[in-house]
Amino acid sequence: MSDRPARSEKVGLVRSLSDRLLLTIAFFESAQEFPSGAALRSLISNAAAKGDLRQLRLIEREVDAMTSGLSIDQLDGLNAALLDRLGIDRSAELAEIRRQVRQLVERGALPSEKARQRAERHLEMLEASGDYAEEVEILRRLLSS
């Protein structure tokens, strides 16, 4: 069985991810000077129109990394906006990532390239959040082994 989403599921994923990215870009623009906003919105819109989930996920990784530049208050504001407008609970997302990291650590190794890629995505998200130094260090060691 494939891990690829069914067509109808993919359409929903594309829409929710593009909505999330567009809201995040709008937040960046309201919180600070963000001259790249228009270019990113264009990339997001084009990828969404093509149904390019892979491209949207790549953009998501970049945008998530940008959140590390937000102050704690700004990050709280972004999290509140995501929850209020889109029902996205970033605290729950980070808790799920921590659970998955614990599973990887319990295994002691990364069993596949897919697991390695997942660990790398988790590491990027945890680094961007700035609050999970212990998990970041554990993942770095696991990825370097």
User: Across the 145 residues of the chain, what is the mean pLDDT of every consecutive 10-residue run?
Assistant: 65 93 96 91 96 92 84 90 94 82 78 81 74 80 83
Question: For position 18, what pLDDT does the model report?
Answer: 96
- What does the block give as tokens for 45? 């819109």
Non-local (6+) Cβ contacts of 34 within 8 A are 25, 28
Of 95, 105, 96, 103, nearest to 139 by C-alpha is 105
Question: For position 5, what pLDDT does the model report?
Answer: 62
Question: For position 112, what pLDDT does the model report?
Answer: 81
Question: For position 46, what pLDDT does the model report?
Answer: 97
- The domain spans of the chain are 7-86, 90-144
